[in-house]
C-alpha cells in the first residue's frame, strides 16, 4: 500500500445495476486504474461480486508475472486463497460463539497491485453469506471502512457490486456515499433501474443512510445509434424511474478489445476505451465536487 503524507477524506462509490451484462466491471476497474494512475490518487477497489471478474481483470494485469498461462487464476488460487485475502473474510460466520467478531485488519485482506492502487479481492464464497439471517452482516463493509479508517488512506473506494439483491449488496450500499449506474441501451434496461431504485430507496428509509446517486452512464454504446436504438433510448429516458437520475454526457463505447484483446480486459489499455474512461472520470469528479459544495 502506497504511503501518503496528507490525511485524506475519501469517498466510497458503489457501481451497481440490478441487470447483468451492462459493463459494470469494466467501468469499475477502468475508473480505479485511471484514477490511480492519471489522477495520481490513492484508490481501493472492493470486489463485492461473487463472480469476482474485477479481481481477475486486475490480477491479470498487475500480478500475473511468473504464474503460467492462466496467470490471474493461478495467483488467485496460490496466493490469495491460502492467505484468505478476500472479501469473504469480512463476512465469515462465527464458529465459536464465545469469541466476538472482530473486523479484519486491512493488511490481512487488502492486496497492493501497484503504486496508488489496492484491491480487496472477490470470493465465490460470498454466495453463502446470503443464507445468514444475522442482520448485522449488512454493516460489515461499512464497519471495515470505518474501523480501519480507510477514508484517511484512500481518495476513492470503488465497490463493484453484484447485479442481485443480497446481504453483501446492501452492505456495499450502506458503506457508500454515492452510487453510480452503468446502463446498456436495450429493451430491458428499465427493469434493472426500477429494481435498483426500489432497493436503494428502501435501504435509505430503513437504515437512515445518506446515499446519493451520481448518475447513469451509458455503456457499450455504438459510435452511431440506429433509429431503433434511438427510439429505445428515448423511451427509456421518458420512464418515471429515470426522471430523478442524472445522465452522464460521457459514455463507454462498445469495444471488442476489452473482451478479446491481447492486452486483457482492462479498458485503460486501449486508446478509445481509455479516452472514454478519462471523460467519465473527469465528469465523475466534477459531480462529486458539486455535491460536496
pLDDT tens digits along 136-164: 899 999 999 999 999 999 999 999 999 99
**What is residue 41's DSSP assignment?**
-
- Give the CB-side neighbour count of residue 176, counting CA atoms within 13 A: 28
Task: Give the model's pLDDT for residue 222.
Answer: 87
Report the Cα 138 to chain-centroid distance in Å: 17
117 forms beta bridges with 43, 114
Q: pLDDT digit string (tens) for 158-172? A: 999 999 989 999 999
Q: What value does the mean pLDDT take over residues 197-210?
A: 94
Mean pLDDT of the chain, nearest integer: 90
Q: Which is it for the CA torsion 44, 48, 88, 104, positive or negative?
A: positive
Confidence check: pLDDT of 211 > 80: yes
Q: Which three cell numbers stand for residue 200?
A: 436503494
C-alpha–C-alpha distance, residues 211 and 12, integer Å:
10
C-alpha–C-alpha distance, residues 11 and 127, integer Å:
27
Task: Give the model's pLDDT for residue 4.
Answer: 46
Task: Give the model's pLDDT for residue 28.
Answer: 97
Is residue 96 very low, low, confident or very high in pLDDT (cuts 50, 70, 90)?
low
Is residue 218 very low, low, confident or very high in pLDDT (cuts 50, 70, 90)?
very high
Task: Give the model's pLDDT for residue 68.
Answer: 46
* Alpha helix (H) residue ranges in the chain: 24-37, 53-62, 71-75, 88-91, 106-109, 140-147, 167-175, 189-207, 227-237, 256-260, 271-292
Confidence check: pLDDT of 78 > 80: yes
C-alpha–C-alpha distance, residues 108 and 120, integer Å:
10
Which residue, chain included where needed, has cell 485488519?
Answer: 105
Amino acid at each position: 500500500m502506497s504511503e501518503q503524507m496528507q490525511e485524506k477524506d475519501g469517498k466510497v462509490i458503489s457501481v451497481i445495476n440490478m441487470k447483468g451484462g451492462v459493463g459494470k466491471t469494466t467501468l469499475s476497474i477502468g475508473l480505479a486504474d485511471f484514477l490511480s494512475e492519471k489522477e495520481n490518487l490513492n484508490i481501493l477497489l472492493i470486489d463485492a461480486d461473487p463472480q469476482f471478474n474485477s479481481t481477475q481483470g486486475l490480477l491479470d494485469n498487475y500480478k500475473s508475472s511468473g504464474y503460467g498461462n492462466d496467470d490471474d487464476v493461478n495467483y488467485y488460487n496460490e496466493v490469495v486463497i491460502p492467505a484468505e485475502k478476500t472479501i469473504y473474510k469480512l463476512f465469515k460466520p462465527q464458529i465459536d460463539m464465545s469469541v466476538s467478531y472482530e473486523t479484519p485488519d486491512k493488511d490481512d485482506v487488502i492486496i497492493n497491485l501497484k503504486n496508488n492502487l489496492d484491491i480487496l479481492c472477490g470470493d465465490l464464497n460470498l454466495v453463502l453469506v446470503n443464507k445468514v439471517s444475522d442482520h448485522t452482516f449488512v454493516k460489515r463493509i461499512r464497519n471495515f471502512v470505518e474501523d480501519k479508517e480507510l477514508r484517511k488512506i484512500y481518495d476513492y473506494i470503488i465497490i463493484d457490486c453484484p447485479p442481485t439483491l443480497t446481504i453483501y449488496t446492501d452492505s456495499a450500499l450502506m458503506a457508500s456515499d454515492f452510487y453510480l449506474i452503468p446502463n446498456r441501451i436495450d429493451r430491458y434496461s428499465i427493469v434493472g433501474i426500477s429494481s435498483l431504485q426500489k432497493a436503494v430507496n428502501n435501504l435509505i428509509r430503513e437504515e437512515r443512510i445518506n446515499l446519493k446517486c451520481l448518475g447513469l452512464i451509458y455503456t457499450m454504446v455504438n459510435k452511431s445509434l440506429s433509429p431503433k436504438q434511438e427510439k429505445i433510448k428515448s423511451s427509456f429516458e421518458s420512464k418515471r424511474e429515470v426522471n430523478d437520475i442524472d445522465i452522464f454526457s460521457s459514455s463507454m463505447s462498445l469495444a471488442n478489445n476489452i473482451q478479446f484483446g491481447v492486452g486483457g480486459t482492462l479498458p485503460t489499455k486501449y486508446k478509445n476505451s481509455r479516452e472514454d474512461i478519462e471523460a467519465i472520470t473527469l465528469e465523475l469528479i466534477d459531480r462529486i465536487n458539486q455535491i460536496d459544495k
